[in-house]
Every structure is written in structure tokens, then in C-alpha cells.
A and B are shown apart, each in its own frame.
Chain A
């Protein structure tokens, strides 16, 4: 049979132990808990540890700021709040100004009559306007580039049609700076009308142009 200890009847609750440690209990209850602790060494050791901690606490607690420090901190906080409020007011005015300008710009765009210009990009799906062959005239190109023409006709496409003796009439020939006068073939049945200069110098072994 288990023997009960005298203090078992008054097992203190944790808050009572804390109050005991702070000396806030009635003297009778204080005495009864002290008796109970003598029979419960593990609880007594814990209470002793808490008592030592309470003794160390006052020596390690940081010093409270002085009243002057609190006062200066309050002044700084209040000035910061004022600056925040004024900045927020300026931003609000800027936003209002920007919205007003944007609305005015949109209104101007909507009210301005739209004129199609050369730089206006065609909308998607709209066929590109391409010049017709009548709108463009080829001034000069290399013969090899004729196949690359998309619009417009090259000045010469087929075989060259040469003038006949009935088509051309010679009216004059001036000599070159060195006195050379080309052979002019006109009204001949064996050759078409043509101006032929002698080769200068004639290739070796080759005769002068046939008259």
C-alpha cells in the first residue's frame, strides 16, 4: 500500500507555484507550498532555478530610453507622416494631370480628320496597291535584268527590228577628232543601213571592214 505524503493533499497548481515564487500568496498557503516543496525536491529544484533567473533578470534588462529620446523619436515620426502625406498629394495631382492630358490627346486624335498618306501602313488583309504598267516607265536597265521586272515593260523584249534602206536617210557625218569617218551603208541591198567605224587599231591579221 502506497504511503501518501503530507503535502500530497495540497499539490499546488503551476500558477500557485509562480505566485509562491513572487511571494503573492497568503502566509498559510505560502507555508503549505514550502512544505510541499520540501517533499518534492525536483519541483523545488525547478522553483529554485526560476528564482535564480528572476534574480539575474534585473541585472541584464537593457536600460529604458530617456524621455528626451522618446520625445525626439515622436517628432521624427510626425514629420515623416507629414512628408508622406504631402508626397501622396503631389502624386495624386500628377496622376490627375496625366489623365487629363491623355484624355485631351485622345480627343484630339478622334476629332482630327483622317487623311491617307503615303506612309500609312495598309491594314491587314488589304491588298497592296501596285503600279500598273502604264504608271511606270523603265528608263534604263541591263539586259540581263529584264527578267526581274515585276511591273512595266522592258524597252526591248524581242529580236531587234532593224531599219531598212527605205527607213533611214543620212543627212551628214562629221569626222572624229583624229579625222576618222565611219563607213555609212545606205541604200544598199546587201547590207542594212548602218554606220561602221574602222577598228582602231584593227586586230592583227584581220582586214579593214569590207566596204
Chain B
């Protein structure tokens, strides 16, 4: 499978936000508890109460950490029944659309490379070519 573009884009997204967003991002990631919360959210979709149970601090304190991550755009909260789930991405539709976009980008790259390969074979060999001038 070849979806490595996703990785690169994600890193770019993290590396180059606007100034204020960058401040919020660094602030959000500067705290070890918040980094740990983020890891848990990446691995699943924990509820705020499940997160609160994982740390020796109050529910309100954990809620505050989640709010900081939310402001930085790293997580979103979604109410499900009596629980608030913390997720790392906006929504299922966006994720599905993004998958197709990544796949499209992958295949556009492939077709470009196929074209280049096909063109290679039809260009005059360099020893016969005096116009291109490259050896």
C-alpha cells in the first residue's frame, strides 16, 4: 500500500500552521499529560471520564487539558449518550473523503511516472542526438 503522502502532509500540517495556531499547538504539546492524552486519543476514542480515571487529577483538570488540545485543533469532542468522546479528527465523512484524496494523489503520481517511463523509450538515444546536448 502506498499512502505515504498522508504522513508527509500530516507533518507539514503540524509544521506550518499560522503563528497563533502554532503557539497554541506548542502550548498544547508542551505538557506531558496532554501529550499522553493525545496518544490515548490517537489509539482510540476515550471518553473524558475514562481519561479522567487514568490520571491522578480531578475530572475538571482533565477536562481543561482536553480543552487546550481542542483549541489547538488536535482533538474534537463528540457527545455520545451521557459520555463525551475525544477524537483526533473532525468526522468520518472527512476522513473517508481524505482517504480518496490521498489515493487520488498517489495515482496521479504513479501515472506521471508511467508517462515519464514511456517517454524515455521513444526519445532519441543521446549518442544520436545533438540537439539536446546532454550526455
- To the question of whether A and B form a pair in one complex, the answer is no
> A residues near B, CB below 8 A?
none
